[in-house]
Amino acid sequence: MPKNNLDAILRTQRAAFNENPNSSWGERKNNLIKLGKAIADNEANFQQAISEDFGNRSFVETTIAEMAIIHGGIKHALKHTQKWMRARKAPTAMQFKPASNKIIPQPLGVVGIISPWNYPLQLAVMPLIGALGAGNRVMIKPSEYTPRLSNLLKSVLGEVFSDDEIHVAVGGVKIAQEFSGLPFDHLLFTGSTNVGRIVAGAASKNLTPVTLELGGKSPVIVDDSANMSLTIPRITNGKLLNAGQTCVAPDYLLMPEREINAFSKALIAKAEEFYPKFAGNPDYTSIIADSHYARLQGLLEDAQNKGATLRTAGDDDTQVMAGERRIPLTVVTNTTPDMKIMQEEIFGPLLPILASETLEDSMQYVQEHDRPLALYWFGEDKAKREHVLRNSISGGVSINETAWHVVQEDIPFGGVGPSGMGAYHGEHGFKTFSHMKGVFFQSKFSGGKMLYPPYTEKTQKVLKMMKKFM
C-alpha cells in the first residue's frame, strides 16, 4: 500500500471525524456492539488463521488469551462508557468562586494502532475498543508475521465498518514505517523496546502523542514463604502460555541457590504433566518463525557455553520438534548475569533461574536493571509482600500469580521506562484516547475586575487577601 494511500485514508477519516467530532453514546454503543458481534461470528476463522500463522496454536489457548479478553473488554466498555463520557465537575479554588470548573472528555480524532504478532487479534482489538468508546476513527497496522490473521481482520472489520471508521493496513516493514510516520492524533504501539524507540522517533516528527506497550525481562521473586503447590503450576502455566511468546511472561526467577535444584525439577515435572508430549501436541504452540526459533536456540547455546545447566521437559525427537518449531520448557540453572539469556527479553519457553540469597539481593538486582513490564512475587509473608510492592517499580504486578493483572479491566495495563509509557484497558483506555478538556466558567459576580490595570495600592491589598486562600 503506497504511502499516499495511507495519507488519503487518514485525510478521509479526519474529514469524517470533523463532520461529527463528538459522537453520541448511541453511535459509540452501536460500534462496540458491531465489533463484538463481528469477532464472535468469526471466532472459528480467527482460531484457524492464528494457528496457521504460528504453525500451530491451540484453539482453546486462542479462546482464553484472545477471544475471552476481547469480549470481556467490550462488555466492560458497554457497561461504563456512557458514564465515562459525561462532563464532570472539578473543584474550584476559593479565591475564584463563585466561578466553577468542569472536565469534558472529547475524542481525539484519528487513532493509529500498531499491533504485534504474539496475540495478533487481542492486541489489535483491545486498544480499538478504547478508541471506539472514546469516539475516534481508527487505523490499524497488524503484524506481517501473521498474514492470515491480518487479512482476515481486514476482511471482517471491512464488512461492518466503513473505511472512514476503521481501516486495516496490511503489509510489511515498509508499510509499518510509513504508518508510524502519519500525523495521527494518537498512536499506540505494542512490540519490542527497540522498535518502540523507532516508532516514537517517527511519531515525534509530527508531535503525535504515543502509548508504547513494550516488554523487557519480567522477574519472578520466589519467597521462602511461598506455597509451592500453587507456585509451581502457576509459574509453569504463565511461562508456557503461547510457548512463552507473551510480553508479560515470567522471564527469569530469583531464589536462594539451595532451592534451585528441587524447584527446577518440579517445574519440569509440571510441564510434562501439562504437556505429556510437545512434538505434535495440538495444545502446545509453535515458535512464530524460523528466525525466532534460531534466536532462542542461540540463547541456550550461549548459556551452555558459559557454564549453565539445561533441563528440558519431555523426551521428544529433537528433529521433529525443530521441524515444527517446538521448544519444550527448558530451565536454565547455574545462570550468570553475563549470559545473553539474562540480557535479552527471552520471549520463548526458556526459564533461567538466578541465585539470590535474600529479598534485598533480589530487589537490588531488579532495581539495577531496566524497569520491567511485569513483576511477580510468590509468598505468604505480608510484610515482605508490602516491601516488594512499595520498593519495586514495574508496569504491573501479580501476587501469587502470573499475567492475570493484564486482564483486569479496572486497573491500567502499561509499562514504565524501557517497558513502555502510557496505559489502556477500561477507563484508562478511554482516557488515553480522549482529550480531557478543562473548562472554566466565570460568574457575572467575579471579582477579577479588581485586578485590572492600572495597578494601585488597592491591587496589592486584593493580591494579599487572595494569597490567604491559595
Same domain, 184 and 254: no
> What is residue 83's predicted lDDT score, i.e. its pLDDT?
98
- CATH code of residue 96: 3.40.605.10
Single-letter code of the amino acid located at 69: I
> What is residue 448's predicted lDDT score, i.e. its pLDDT?
85
Q: Please state, as a whole number, how many other Cβ atoms lie within 10 Å of the Cβ of residue 229.
A: 8
Same domain, 51 and 182: yes
Range list of H helices, 205-354 = 228-240, 257-274, 290-305, 318-324
Please give the Cα distance from 275 to 155 (Å, whole number).
35
Number of domains within the chain? 2
- Residue 247 falls in the annotated catalytic set: yes
Mean pLDDT of each 10-residue bin along the chain, 470 residues long: 81 98 98 98 98 97 97 98 98 92 98 98 98 98 98 98 97 95 98 95 97 96 96 98 98 97 98 97 97 98 98 92 96 98 97 97 97 98 97 97 96 96 97 98 90 90 83
Q: Give a yes or no: residue 245 inside a domain.
A: yes
Please give the Cα distance from 47 to 104 (Å, whole number).
40
> What is residue 210's predicted lDDT score, i.e. its pLDDT?
98
Query: DSSP letter at 67?
Result: I
Same domain, 238 and 188: no
- pTM, rounded to two decimals: 0.95
> What is the Cα gyration radius of the chain?
25
| Contact criterion met (CB below 8 Å) for 114 and 171 | no
Same domain, 309 and 162: no
> What is residue 357's predicted lDDT score, i.e. its pLDDT?
95
Q: Give a yes or no: residue 254 inside a domain.
A: yes
| Contact criterion met (CB below 8 Å) for 169 and 179 | yes
> What is residue 3's predicted lDDT score, i.e. its pLDDT?
58
Range of the domain at 170: 3-214+420-435
Same domain, 231 and 88: no
Q: In the structure grid, which three cell numbers stand for residue 265, read together?
A: 525439577
Q: Give a yes or no: residue 60 inside a domain.
A: yes
Same domain, 317 and 409: yes
From 213, 324, 345, 427, the catalytic residue? 213
From 178, 247, 345, 427, the catalytic residue? 247
Same domain, 242 and 338: yes
Same domain, 375 and 228: yes
> What is residue 242's predicted lDDT score, i.e. its pLDDT?
98
> What is residue 4's predicted lDDT score, i.e. its pLDDT?
65
> What is residue 462's predicted lDDT score, i.e. its pLDDT?
87
- CATH code of residue 331: 3.40.309.10
Please give the Cα distance from 179 to 7 (Å, whole number).
9
Same domain, 188 and 318: no
- Residue 144 falls in the annotated catalytic set: no
Residue with cell 500463522: 53
> What is residue 1's predicted lDDT score, i.e. its pLDDT?
57
Same domain, 399 and 342: yes
Same domain, 195 and 263: no
